[in-house]
Chains A and B, each alone.
Chain A
Amino acid sequence: MTQPVLILDNLSVTYTVGAGTFYAVSDVSLEIEPGRVVGIVGETGCGKSTLAKAIPRLLPEPPATIGSGTIIFQGTDLVKVPKRKLPMVRGTGIGMIFQEPLNSLNPAYRVFDQIVESIRIRHYREMGWVKSFQGGPNPFDYSKPPDTTTVAGSLSKAIIPSGAAEEAVRDRLQTRSQYREEVLEYLRLVRINDPETILNLFPHELSGGMRQRIMIAMALSEKPALLIADEPTSALDVTIQAQVLTLMKELIDEVHASILFISHDLGVIAETADEVGVMYAGRIVEYGPVAEVFKDPRHPYTKALLKAAPAHYKSDGPLSSIAGSVPNLSRPPSGCRFHPRCVLARDVCRGVTPPLAPVDPNAPPGGRHIHRSACYFAAEVPGLP
C-alpha cells in the first residue's frame, strides 16, 4: 500500500479584503497517489488557482487565510509548518508551473542561470549543505533509487549522497560545466532544439511556448515529489498550447509523476489526468476517474459544463451556456452552491450542503478514488437534456 503524496482534508481558504471575506476554497478533500495525475477543472473564479497556490502555502497571508483543514504532504501537515521553513518544502518537495510563462522568468537572467538556480537548490539539499525539510519520515530522501514518486526520477544521473566523508563532498561540488551538462539535459528533456544556444538567451528573446518549456524544465530539475501545474497552457495560443500539452503528456508517461493539473479546459484534463475533480464556487462538486466523470457526469454542473464545451464537429446552432452567473463568493448561496442555477434544485438543496457521496450506492464507503458526486439527485442527472 503506497502512501498518498498529498492528502487534502477539508481545506478551506478565505481572503479577507476590507470588511469582506471571500470563501475561495471550501472543504476540499483530495488524495494524490504516487504516479497519478489529478485534474481540477472549473470555470474562472471557482478557486482552482487559489487551491493550487494554497498547497505549497504560496498565497500571501494575509490577505489569504487557511481557515481550516490540513494539507498533508508526505506525512507532514504543511498548515502547521512555520513560514520560515516553507522554502525547504517548495521546489524539491512541491514544484509548480504557473500560467503566466511570459512573466514567470526573471528578465534579468539568462536561461542558464535560472535553471541552474533550481538545480543548485536541489543539489545543495541532496548534499545536506542546506537544511531540507524534516517532518515525519524524511520526504526528500533521494538516496533511495529513483522511484515513481519522483518526477524525472527515471532521468536521474544524480549525485546520490553517500556518507558525509569530506572527500565525497568535494567530489560532489559541481563545476560550472557539470551544471551546464545538467541544464542541457533538462532542456533536451522538454524538447528544446539547439539547447546550447537557448542557454545563453534572455527570457525576452524566447517565445511564450519556449518560456513555458523552460519553466517546466526548471520545475522538473528539482525532482519534486509532487508537481502542481496551474493552467500551464492557458496563456499560450492554440498551436503552442497543443505542443506544450503533448510535451506534458509525454513527460507524464516518461517520469511517472504525481501531478495536480489545473485547467479550465475540459479537453486538456480529459487528455492528461487520471482522476478529475470538478470545482464550482470553491467546492469540489464531482470527483472520479476521468473517463467515468466525463462519460457519465453525475452532477448537474458537470453535465452543463460538458454541454457548454464547444464541439468541433457541431458547427451549427448557438453555443449552449449555463443560465445565471457565478455566485459572489463573499456571500455564497446556502446549501448546494449550484442550486440557484440548477434545473434539479429543490428545497433540500437550499438547506444543507450535499456531501460528496459515491455515485454507486453499492460502493464501499470511504473510497476516495471512486466516482463521487455532491448532489442529492445524482441518479437523475443522466436523464437531463
Chain B
Amino acid sequence: MSATRAPPVRRRTDHPIVVFWRVLRANPLSLFGFLLVALICITALIVVVAPHLIVPYGPQQETGPINSPPSWQHLFGTDGLSFDIYSNVMLALPLDLGIGVGIAGISLLIGGALGLIAGFYDTPGKLSGYTSVSIMRLTDIFLSFPSLILALTITRVLGPGVVNTAIAISITWWPFYVRLVRGEVLAVKHLPYVTAARAAGVTENRILLRHVLRNVLEPLIVYFTLDIGTVLVTYSTIGYIGVASKYPGPQPEWGAMLAYYQSGGLINTYPWLVLAPGAAIFVTVLAFSLLGDGLRDILDPRTRRAFVRGAAPEPPAERPTAEPTEARDEELPESSPGSPLGSPNPGGGT
C-alpha cells in the first residue's frame, strides 16, 4: 500500500497554539466553551476598563419604570427600585468571575503544591514521611467539615464582605486539591519512566517538577476549570444567604441578586427578575465546564494527536524504504495494532 501513497508533504507545524486550535476545531463543544469563556473574559475586561460602552446605567441608578418586563430599553427589565437589571448583571460579572478563578486558583496553588510534596516525598520514618503524614491529616481535618458550613462560619467570624467570604471559601477549598494531586502523584511516581529518569541521573526535585508534575497536570487543570463553576455556585450560595454581598448595593453580585429577586413573593409576581442573574451563573459555569473537557483533550498527547488527525487527515510519514523487516518495526501506530496505548482510531474522523 505504501507504493501508492503520494510523496510525503510534511509541512505541518507543531506549534502549541496551532495544535490547540486544531483540537478545538475538531471538538465543537469545547470550541463553544472556549469561545464562551473568551467572551466572558473580554466582557468582564470591558466592564472594568470602560463600563460606559456596554453598561447603560449605574448599579443604583433609578431609571423610572418599576418592575418592568424586558424591553429594548431595559434588556432584562427593571426591579422594584427601578434599577436596570442588565446593568447590574454586567457590573457583577468581573466580581463573580474573579471570585471563581481567584478562589479556585489559590486552592490550586496551595493544594497542588502540598499535594505534590505529600505524594512525592513520603519516605516513612524520615522527615519527608512525617511532613507527608502531617499534610494529609491536616487535609483530612479540613475535609471532615462540610465546606459550605465551614465557609459560612468563617465568614461570620471574619465579618461579612466580599474579601472575607473569598478568604473563607479558600480556606475550605484547598484540601480537595491536595487529595487529588497526591493521589495522582502516587500513581505516577512508581511508573517505569520515573525510574528511568532517575536512572538517567535526573535529580529528585527535577523528576517531581518535570516528569511527575507534567503528568499530573492533565487531571489537575481539568478539575480546576470545572471547579471554577463550583466555586461560583458556592459563592453565590453564600451571597444568596446574604452574608457575602448585599443587593441592592454599590457592588452587585449574582447570588445576592437572585436572593433578593425571589424573596417576598417577587418570583411569583415578576418571574423574569431571577432570570438574568440565574442565567449568568449558568452560562459561566457551563462555559468553564466545556472548556475543561477540551483542555483535557489538548493536554493529553494521545488524544491530541487523535483529534488532530481526525480533523485534518494527512498521510502518515513516509520513510525511505529499508529492508522489509526493518520497515515493519518502524511503521507508525496506524498500521501497528499492537500499540497498547492505542489512540482511538486516529484516521477515522470524529
Contacts and interface: CB of A to CB of B under 8 A. Distances in A.
Nearest to A122: B201
Nearest to A204: B341
A202 B193 contact: no
Contacts of B214: 106, 108-109
A192 B302 CA distance: 22
B156 interface: no
Question: How big is the B interface, by class?
Answer: 35 or more
A118 interface: yes
Interface stretch (B30-38, B166-174, B224-232, B322-330): B322-330
A89 B210 CA distance: 20
Contacts of A219: 200
Given A193-B322, A239-B328, A104 B196 contact: yes
A205 B193 contact: no
Given A117-B202, A202-B305, A208-B338, A192 B215 contact: no
B264 interface: no
A356 B191 CA distance: 37
B317 interface: yes
Given A102-B340, A117-B202, A205-B305, A96 B196 contact: yes
A62 B330 contact: no
Nearest to B213: A108
Contacts of B204: 84, 87
Contact of A58 (B195, B202, B302, B330): B195
B336 A87 contact: no
Contact of B200 (A117, A208, A209): A117
Interface in A43-94: 56, 58, 62, 84, 87-94
B207 to A, nearest CB: 9
A121 interface: yes
A91 B322 contact: no
A187 to B, nearest CB: 12
Interface string A190-223: 0111100100111011111110000100110010
A243 interface: yes
Interface string B1-37: 0000000001000100000000000000000000000
A107 B329 contact: no
A235 to B, nearest CB: 10
Given A193-B319, A243-B326, A95 B331 contact: no
B198 interface: yes
A112 B340 CA distance: 22
Interface string B241-270: 000000000000000000000000000000
B192 A207 contact: no
Contacts of A243: 325-326, 329
A108 B194 CA distance: 12
B109 interface: no
A28 B204 CA distance: 29
Interface string A105-116: 111110000000
A107 B302 contact: yes
A100 B192 contact: yes
Contacts of B215: 106-108
B272 to A, nearest CB: 49
A16 B230 CA distance: 45
A106 B202 contact: no
Given A204-B302, A204-B333, A243-B326, A107 B196 contact: no
A193 B200 contact: no
Nearest to B200: A91
B199 interface: yes
Given A105-B193, A107-B302, A239-B325, A90 B200 contact: yes
Given A87-B203, A102-B340, A192 B301 contact: no
A93 B199 CA distance: 10
A332 to B, nearest CB: 27
B198 A98 contact: no
Interface in B175-219: 191-193, 195-204, 210-211, 214-215
Nearest to B123: A62
A103 interface: yes
Contacts of B193: 103-107
B200 A103 contact: no
Interface string B307-343: 0000000000101101001111111110010111101
A122 to B, nearest CB: 8
A351 B305 CA distance: 63
B64 interface: no
A169 interface: no
A105 to B, nearest CB: 6
A240 interface: yes
B211 to A, nearest CB: 6
Residue picked from B193, B201, B202, most chain A C-beta under 10 Å: B201
Nearest to B217: A108
A240 B211 CA distance: 28
Contact of A108 (B301, B325, B327, B341): B301
Contact of B339 (A103, A104, A207): A207
Contacts of A201: 332
B330 A87 contact: no
B271 interface: no
A210 B330 contact: yes
A108 to B, nearest CB: 5
Nearest to A207: B336
A90 B201 contact: yes
Interface string A231-269: 000000101100100000000000000000000000000
B246 to A, nearest CB: 47
A193 B326 contact: yes
Nearest to A201: B332
Contact of A87 (B123, B124, B191, B198): B198
Interface of A: 56, 58, 62, 84, 87-96, 98, 100, 102-109, 117-118, 121, 191-194, 197, 200-202, 204-210, 215, 218-219, 222, 237, 239-240, 243
8 contacts: A62-B124, A93-B201, A118-B200, A193-B326, A194-B317, A202-B305, A204-B343, A205-B343
Interface of B: 10, 14, 123-125, 191-193, 195-204, 210-211, 214-215, 301-302, 305, 317, 319-320, 322, 325-333, 336, 338-341, 343
Given A98-B199, A239-B329, 7 more contacts: A87-B198, A87-B202, A91-B202, A104-B195, A105-B193, A106-B193, A194-B320
Q: What are the nearest 4 A-B pairs in CB distance? A: A91-B201, A96-B199, A90-B201, A103-B192
